[in-house]
Amino acid sequence: MKNEIGFGVVGAGLIAPFHLNAIKDSVGGRGVGIFDINKEAAQKMADQFDLKVYDSLEGLLADPEIHVVCVATPNHLHRDIVLAAAAAGKHVLTEKPPAMSLAETDEMIAACEKAGVKFGCFVQCRIRKAIQAMKQAVDSGRLGTLLRADAYMKWFRPLEYYTSDGWRGQRQSGSGVTVAQGFHYIDLLQYLAGPAVRLEAKMENLNHPGIALEDDAVAFVEYANGAKGIIQLSTALWPGTDIRIELNGTEGTAIMVGETIETWKFRDERPEDEEIRNLGDASQATGAGGAADFGHSDHTVVVQDMIDCIGTENEVVIPVGDVRPSLEIILAMYQSAHRGEPVEWPVADDPSAW
């Protein structure tokens, strides 16, 4: 039996318990320790999950009991932690977005490859059984020619969410709705229908006065396969409704709401279709009305996969290289909204758009 894999978590904020519960529920994994510049927050998390607390990132990375580092810090801080973890020979699972630029993302991927460590990303919504069924339908041609691929995220966050921590009110830190919440669902569209080739976006602040970032974004996207689609993202719409991912083709339609299949209709009806229509748990919260209103079961799959991949030649289930095209869509949305014009591929970094 493989030796137990130790995990260290960097960041003791909102998302850390999801990582730690996923590690706790894994087979062969163990939470070892946590570091955060807020020592009180780190100690509170350590007390809850029976962890060591480190005085520095260097202390965590020097611990031989830690084999995997989970990066759960504010979005703009991922790069430096990933590079340090790779240099220390630790495998890495980072929160989305992997970084705030393509250049940083490429630097991180190259560093992990050079160090020979696994590098995965928590875009765990891909793991949902409904999404896997939709992916199989696209890849097998059941939808025929894919015509539309749309995502609708009409959520709500109170003003206190953005004022609760300094970085949450700064778009440069990755706290706008497009990158902070919308990344997951843009990633799903890219996973199912991508890559994109052109888009046009508009952004505004509808319902969070005094906060200098977008709480609402809409984009029209064109994909390389000829499909087109709408991305609608918001944290301004009380009380918040569940995410919808919609795929429409010449031979069928598949729609996921929350984590369940709402519509699954094809010209060629198959025996397995009735079972697919029952995928997912309609009672599972998926973040529409609150920042912590979702489960950690999908995180557990990502963590378990990392455990199972260590010591093998296998790639992790969601490598950061596969998430890079999703970041391109995000960056294109910010650039299009900033410039007031469409953006075409290839996408280049443009810091002025932040």
C-alpha closest to that of 218 among 182, 251, 175, 189 = 182
Using DSSP, state whether 183 is helix, strand or coil. Answer: helix
Closest CA to 36 of 26, 19, 157: 19
Query: CB count, 10 Å around CB of 296?
Result: 19
Give, in order, the Cα–Cα distances in Å from 341 to each of 106, 171, 336: 27, 20, 5
Kindly give, in sequence order, each residue whose CB lies less than 8 Å from that of residue 344, ignoring residues fewer than 6 positions away. 197, 198
How far is Cα 89 from Cα 112, in angstroms, rounded to an integer? 9
The token pair at 180 is 């902070």
Question: Who's near 69: CB < 8 A, 6+ residues apart?
Answer: 7, 8, 9, 10, 60, 61, 81, 85, 90, 91, 92, 93
pLDDT the model gives residue 291: 63
**Pick from 158, 137, 157: which is nearest to 149 by CA?**
137
Tell me the sheet residues that pair with 126.
Answer: none
Domains of the chain, residue spans: 5-122+297-318, 126-287+326-344
Q: Tokens 């949305």, residue?
A: 333
Please state, in angstroms and rounded to a whole number, the distance separating the CA atoms of residues 187 and 274. Answer: 27
* Tokens 């706790």 belong to residue: 24
Compute the distance between CA of residue 336 and CA of residue 231 in angstroms, rounded to an integer.
13
* pTM, 2 dp: 0.95
Q: For residues 81 and 95, is the Cβ–Cβ distance under 8 A?
A: no
CA distances from 298 to 85, 144, 171, 190, 203 (A): 24, 29, 27, 19, 30
| 126-287+326-344 fold | Dihydrodipicolinate Reductase; domain 2 (3.30.360)
Q: Which residues contact 68 (CB under 8 A, 6 or more apart)?
A: 5, 6, 7, 8, 29, 90, 91, 92, 93, 306, 307, 310
- Determine contact, residues 32/66, Cβ cutoff 8 Å: yes
H or E element that contains 15: none
Joined tokens for residue 91: 């495998």
Q: Which CATH class is domain 5-122+297-318?
A: alpha beta
Partner residues linked to 153 by β-bridges: 233
Under 8 Å between Cβ of 190 and 332: no
Q: Per residue of the chain (354 residues), what is the pLDDT tens digit?
A: 357 999 999 999 999 999 999 999 999 999 999 999 999 999 999 999 999 999 999 999 999 999 999 999 999 999 999 999 999 999 999 999 999 999 999 999 999 999 999 999 999 999 999 999 999 999 999 999 999 999 999 999 999 999 987 777 778 788 999 999 999 999 999 999 989 999 999 999 999 999 999 999 999 999 999 999 999 999 999 999 999 999 999 999 999 999 999 999 999 999 999 999 999 887 777 778 776 667 899 999 999 999 999 999 999 999 999 999 999 999 999 999 999 999 999 999 999 998
State residue 1's pLDDT score. Answer: 36
Half-sphere exposure for 58 (CA within 13 Å, toward CB): 0
What is the rounded (10 degree) CA torsion for 41, 53, 311, 298? -20
